[in-house]
Chains A and B, each alone.
Chain A
Amino acid sequence: MNEQSFSRVLGRCLDRIAAGEPAAACLADYPEHATELEPLLAAGAAMGVLTSYAISDAGRQRIRAQILNAEIIRNQQRANSRWHWPALAVGVPRLATAFIVALLCVVVTTAAVVASQPGDLAYGVRVA
């Protein structure tokens, strides 16, 4: 039997054990694989210790209260932050804002140079 087929047999045995059958019944059904199957079924049985633990009632209530409290605080912080920042800055990354400001400066300066007349401060730049 190849590994894939054995994996399938193992899966079937684990499902049968999960349904309440004793491991010995599976081993009896696959005697040619019993030596290899037995330690794997035992390892599966060892996993059972996990289900012997559960969240304590006090722990569950404590955590629920912490989560609800965190949700309330988060909502209050969001409500407060809407009133402190100008609408334009909300959601606009700082870098993008800096770029937009720099671009505006260039456009305004260029327009001033193009429109300058002799005697204007920017005229020297235009002539150059």
Chain B
Amino acid sequence: MYAAIDDRQVLAIIPACQEGEAGAVTRLYDLYADRIYHYGLARTGAPRAAEDLTGEVFLKVVKHVQRFKLDASRPASSVSAWLYRIAANLVIDYHRSIRRRPQVDLDEDVSMSLQSPDPCEEVERQEALRRLSGALEQLTEEQRLVVISKFGEGLSNAQTAAWLGKTEGAIEGLQHRALRTLSRLLGARQGME
């Protein structure tokens, strides 16, 4: 789905970010935005919130990139891991804020549905997204990263293994357990409808 991120691209951009070159973090955003967006979308179930969360990840990068230690042996993976950690922490903040103000996000998504050419189909799609997002919250973070990178980014098991620093067999096992849990949760919810 996405072009693989080249280690050479990352080796060129990160030092520029750390030296404060204007536009360098913006280039990093262009490289990673879609991946972080789909992670945020999977975790929040809310498209607008996922867009905002993606932006916040990179605003944090602007603030903290000087302290980031790039692993030169696996530059793209080390940057990915860092960005996903920032995103995971922002997701926690998001869920806390939703518990305090549950209506805000629903209103934004409803308004987006009404603007769609086929509002009924859009509502169904958003409901499927919410169900999936709720089910994904029951997985471990490792399981989530495996299924989101496979199905959201189109990474192969070999690519996911390289990124997470695991064997392909371990990735297959995580994928199996994740899908088993998801099928149980999504199947149970469908049974209730």
Contacts and interface: CB of A to CB of B under 8 A. Distances in A.
A8 B171 CA distance: 10
B78 interface: no
Contacts of A68: 22-23, 26
B60 to A, nearest CB: 10
Nearest to A68: B26
A59 interface: yes
Contacts of A71: 20, 22-26, 62
B119 to A, nearest CB: 16
Contacts of A54: 34, 37
A11 B175 contact: yes
B125 A52 contact: yes
Please classify how large the interface on chain A is, using the bins under 10, 10 to 19, 20 to 34, 35 or more: 35 or more
27 contacts: A4-B169, A11-B172, A15-B156, A43-B179, A43-B180, A43-B182, A46-B131, A46-B182, A49-B125, A49-B129, A49-B132, A50-B41, A50-B42, A50-B132, A50-B148, A52-B125, A53-B38, A53-B41, A55-B34, A60-B33, A63-B33, A64-B29, A67-B58, A71-B20, A71-B24, A74-B62, A78-B20
Interface of A: 3-4, 6-8, 10-11, 14-15, 18, 39-40, 42-44, 46-56, 59-60, 62-64, 66-68, 70-72, 74-75, 78
